[in-house]
Amino acid sequence: MSDRLYIFDTTLRDGEQVPGCQLNTVEKIEVARALEELGVDVIEAGFPISSPGDFNSVVEISKAVTWPTICALTRAVEKDIDVAAEALKFAKKGRIHTGIGTSFYHIHHKLNSNQDEIIERAIAAVKYAKRYVEDVEFYAEDAGRTENEYLARVVEAVIKAGATVVNIPDTTGYTMPHEFGAKIKYLIDNVPNVHKAILSTHCHNDLGMATANTIAGIMNGARQAEVTINGIGERAGNTSLEEVVMILKSRYAILNIDTNINTKNIYKTSRMVSNMMNMPVQPNKAIVGRNAFAHSSGIHQDGVLKNRENYEIMDPADVGINESSIVLTARSGRAALRHRLEIMGFELDKEKLDEVYEQFLKLADKKKDVKDDDVAALLGDATQKERRIKLDFLQVVTGKGLVPIANVRLDISGEILDATASGNGPVDAALKAVKKIIHRKVVLEEFLIQAITHGSDDLGKVHMQVNHEGGNYHGFGANTDIITASVEAFLDAINKIPGGVRAKKE
């Protein structure tokens, strides 16, 4: 039987402490609901005494979220605990997270205290919190730099006082994996009542070892991991939720530990947090970075196209990404170019592929990466390819105070059909008008606009990806009028749907 690891997400508390990443209450509720859908067990919603905004966020998240435990942070101070308890009054399952520093640095330089007094204050805080809630978590701040013998005394004392979870934070990100794992093992082996509580990890990434330390802690008996989406947090950040979860999933045969996380929601949750907190995810970030499933080396591309597992230890679909990305560069081989051409709707024989590949290499030497419309240009401009559906006429009326209205006329195999639609913007209106004519369920999944030239008369190019019955189709358009370019790109994608489309008159 496998063990169960509880996922404690502190994106809305520790993660939000990053300068410039503050969210309002409505945004926090949206993130909390996404975390609930993701399957996290505990949501640390805030530090209620720190500000009226944080207090209100804990209150409203407690109302909005159904099954996860809602946790509020405090210091080992009665007033903090009183305020946290008040903020949690609507929580279906509430937890107070209280604690105090236990390292030499914190005891002597921050708290001006001594070891015995710290234990007394820790016991008092836990007992006081137990007056309000049954579920009390205690954190031994800077446990990473606390002597194991003294830390064991603290842990034993707070469990005896009623703590249900004891958090062992590597607050400064100082420990190494073998040290942190040994610290958890020491507590498991030397705290007599340790079986009455769950040991938790809370590792920071100052030396880039937060995830490694967390896994070391789990392997030695910790059964709660405190993490954030994308690893955001103080200074260099916290342990990344997605990394811990996918390590356990990928190495399940060895670790034999389950979580409640629905991994297929990882990518969309990552993107939500990144966008709302204005914190871009670095391209090479494990699991959720733009390049996490991207391949540019010809050897790698050929291997992935033959069998994904040649170079990927995870299926992108497991984290909510549709497919691996084959990026065309000067290092790409014929297999990658052929794959990209097939996605774009072109099938070339070997002789033609060799000819295009030679041209491709010359272009790739001049550019960092080669886009789909560059490839289309190598083939003699994809827009010249015979299309069943063509744009015959487009007129859009828009402006300040006006609802955008578009009139579109299409030539479908010689039959002229038109439709009119309104939308949130001129492009939205135009695409809705096209959809009125094209009798297909087509979902727009990606829409990118890029200027080719510079100035107010830019030639803009548009890339679109649409989904139809589970298949993805790419379209491209270029025009000085970005609305026309958008419609052309949409039609280019639709033209690539096998079997064509059915048209209907408005």
Residues that constitute the known binding site for Mn(2+): 14, 202, 204, 238
Which residues 6+ apart lie within 8 Å of 474 measured at CB? Answer: 343, 344, 372, 463, 464, 465, 492, 493, 496
Contact, 105 vs 174, CB < 8 A?
no
Q: Is 227 helix (H, G, I), strand (E, B) or coil?
A: strand
As to burial, measured by CB atoms within 10 angstroms (0-12 exposed, 13-18 middle, 19+ buried), residue 396 is buried
What is the secondary structure of 412-466 as a DSSP string? ETTEEEEEEEE-SSHHHHHHHHHHHHB-S--EEEEEEEEESS-STTPPEEEEEEE
CA distance 312 to 370: 23
DSSP-derived pairing of the beta strands 42-46 and 69-73:
parallel
CA angle 394-395-396, nearest 5°? 125
- Residues of each annotated binding site: 14, 202, 204, 238
| CB contact at 8 A, 226 and 239 | yes
| Residue 332 · residue 298 · CB < 8 Å | yes
452 Cβ partners below 8 Å, 6+ apart? 458, 459, 460, 461, 478
Alpha carbons 172 and 150: distance in angstroms, whole number? 18
